[in-house]
């Protein structure tokens, strides 16, 4: 099985924290969709005929596309790869794009999962972040999604935002729980260099939350969602039973995927590659039946390190049998040796043939990850 990721880079406006590749040049949409479909055709052999199990429209703001855009893309995927094995097709969307009419249109297409970027329900913070929607619009959008028949909805939240308090974060969590969202992704704000919010931090116009507060917010996140019946299946991801993101889970399990569009990454099981992060250079190359991309070959150490980074984040942990079968006893023994101090201190556990983070270990997952990586002398 394999997945397809489609990067839709268009945004009406850019949020001040975002460092994903995007553009506000919506006049390029028709030309871009043509290039995207052409790339899908050009790379028909990349996945070696593996059946497509998931399709993910990410961005940018994929909900900026119209029905005819989606139809062209789906027709291309159907013709080149087939959709008969596909069990999850996700659209990332902004709440203010999801009118009743737009949702009615989406319901006639193969989409069966929506991922909504809400981020917070605090009005002043939404304005600070330059989000286009209000808290009221977000709540109403989810209700309209239900009315349109969508029964698999994910919402994104950000915590550790400027001025964050326990009370405000609890309120955000409770609002998300009240929506009965099948899936909740919650990320701590990171100040990415070059973003407007990073520049605001540098000018001391806003303050970063301290580490003690970050730990409290993460504790509230885990406790609040687990008490509400959500499974904590990946460090930043929670779901109702059986509602994991199949597409994102495939990344963490090392399943191949094809990424199309500017800045999109791909993995075929052997190497990784990524397209140039420029819509103009991307389209110009595709229109000449070429591609502007970089590739990264993987040796055993790199592949082992990738497995550690992706697997340790999840509730399934690092399968020791899979590790040994893929990379041999040398890497297995190295991993066990590096994990031993954390097992003794109760931060890791070996259970059901896998190394897994304990609750205490989740708080220092980055440190554990770094120590398990293989670094050549």
Q: Is the domain of 76 the same as that of 19?
A: yes
Tell me which of 217, 235, 251 is where a domain ends.
Answer: 251
Q: Which H or E run includes 186?
A: strand 183-188
Query: Are 168 and 67 in a shared domain?
Result: yes
Q: What is the pLDDT of residue 349?
A: 97
Q: Are residues 241 and 342 in the same domain?
A: no
Where in the sequence is the domain holding 22, given as residue range(s)?
Answer: 2-251
pLDDT of residue 377: 63
What tokens were used for 80?
A: 């080149």
Instruction: Kindly state the helix (H) or strand (E) to which residue 171 belongs, with its residue range.
Output: helix 166-178
Per-residue confidence of the chain (377 residues) as pLDDT tens digits?
Answer: 999 999 999 998 889 899 888 898 999 999 999 999 999 999 999 999 999 999 999 999 999 999 999 999 999 999 999 999 999 999 999 999 999 999 999 999 999 999 999 999 999 999 999 999 999 999 999 999 999 999 999 999 999 999 999 999 999 999 999 999 999 999 999 999 999 999 999 999 999 999 999 999 999 999 999 999 999 999 999 999 999 999 999 999 999 999 999 999 999 998 999 999 999 999 999 999 999 999 988 899 999 999 999 999 999 999 999 999 999 999 999 999 999 999 999 999 999 999 999 999 999 999 999 999 998 76
Residue 232 CA: distances (Å) to CA of 79, 114, 178, 218, 317: 37, 20, 18, 12, 13
Q: Specify whether 324 is located in the same domain as 234.
A: no
Residue 257 lies in a domain: no
At 106, give phi and psi (nearest 5°): -60, -35
- Asked if residue 50 is part of any domain, the answer here is yes
Query: Residue 295: inside a domain, yes or no?
Result: no
Residue 41 counted as domain residue:
yes
CB 293 within 8 A of CB 268: no
Q: Is residue 267 part of a domain?
A: no
**Sign of CA pseudo-dihedral 127, 131, 132, 138:** negative
Same domain, yes or no: 208 and 125: yes
User: What is the CATH classification number for the domain harbouring 179?
Assistant: 3.80.30.20
Q: Are residues 70 and 160 in the same domain?
A: yes
Rg of the Cα trace of the chain?
21
Where is the domain boundary, 236, 251, 266? 251
Is residue 275 in a domain? no
The pLDDT value recorded for residue 297 is 83
Residues 233 and 163 in one domain: yes
In this structure, is residue 151 part of a structural domain? yes
Q: Are residues 123 and 211 in the same domain?
A: yes
Q: How many domains does the chain have?
A: 2
- The whole model's pTM is what? 0.95
Which residues, in sequence order, are CB contacts of 308 under 8 Å at separation 6+?
A: 318, 335, 369, 372, 373
Last residue of a domain, one of 194, 224, 251: 251
Residues 108 and 230 in one domain: yes
CB 305 within 8 A of CB 374: yes
Q: Same domain, yes or no, for 145 and 210?
A: yes
Same domain, 358 and 235: no
SS3 89: strand
Contact assessment for residue 239 and residue 185, using Cβ atoms and an 8 Å cutoff? no
The CATH number of the domain where 357 resides is what?
Answer: 1.10.10
Asked if the structure places residue 134 within a domain, the reply is: yes
Give per-residue pLDDT as tens, 109-160.
Answer: 999 999 999 999 999 999 999 999 999 999 999 999 999 999 999 999 999 9
Q: Are residue 46 and residue 108 in the same domain, yes or no?
A: yes
């Amino acid at each position: 099985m394999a997945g397809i990721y489609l990067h839709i880079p268009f945004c009406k406006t850019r949020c001040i924290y975002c460092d994903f590749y995007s553009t506000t040049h919506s006049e390029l949409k028709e030309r871009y969709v043509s290039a995207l479909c052409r790339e899908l055709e050009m790379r028909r052999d990349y996945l070696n005929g593996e059946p497509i199990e998931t399709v993910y429209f990410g961005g940018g703001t994929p909900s900026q596309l119209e029905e005819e855009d989606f139809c062209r893309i789906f027709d291309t995927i159907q013709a080149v790869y087939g959709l008969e094995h596909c069990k999850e097709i996700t659209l990332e969307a902004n709440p203010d794009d999801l009118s009743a009419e737009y949702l009615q249109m989406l319901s006639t297409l193969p989409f069966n999962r929506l991922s909504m970027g809400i981020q917070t329900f605090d009005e002043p913070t939404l304005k600070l972040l330059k989000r286009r929607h209000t808290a009221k619009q977000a709540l109403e959008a989810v209700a309209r999604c239900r009315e349109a028949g969508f029964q698999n909805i994910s919402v994104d939240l950000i915590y550790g935002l400027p001025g964050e308090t326990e009370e405000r974060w609890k309120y955000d969590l409770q609002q998300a729980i009240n929506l009965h969202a099948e899936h909740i992704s919650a990320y701590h704000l990171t100040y990415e260099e070059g973003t407007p919010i990073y520049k605001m931090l540098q000018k001391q116009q806003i303050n970063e939350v301290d580490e003690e507060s970050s730990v409290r917010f993460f504790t509230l996140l885990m406790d609040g969602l687990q008490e509400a019946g959500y499974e904590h299946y990946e460090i930043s991801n929670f779901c109702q039973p059986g509602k994991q993101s199949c597409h994102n889970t495939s990344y963490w399990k090392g399943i191949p995927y094809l990424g199309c569009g500017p800045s999109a990454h791909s993995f075929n099981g052997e190497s990784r590659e990524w397209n140039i992060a420029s819509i103009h250079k991307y389209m110009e190359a595709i229109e000449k039946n070429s591609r502007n991309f970089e590739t990264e070959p993987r040796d055993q150490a790199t592949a082992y390190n990738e497995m550690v980074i992706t697997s340790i984040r999840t509730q399934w942990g690092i399968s020791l049998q899979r590790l040994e079968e893929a990379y041999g006893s040398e890497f297995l023994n190295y991993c066990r040796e590096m994990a031993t101090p954390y097992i003794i201190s109760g931060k890791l556990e070996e259970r059901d043939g896998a190394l897994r983070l304990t609750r205490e270990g989740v708080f220092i997952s980055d440190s554990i990850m770094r120590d398990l990586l293989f670094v050549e002398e």
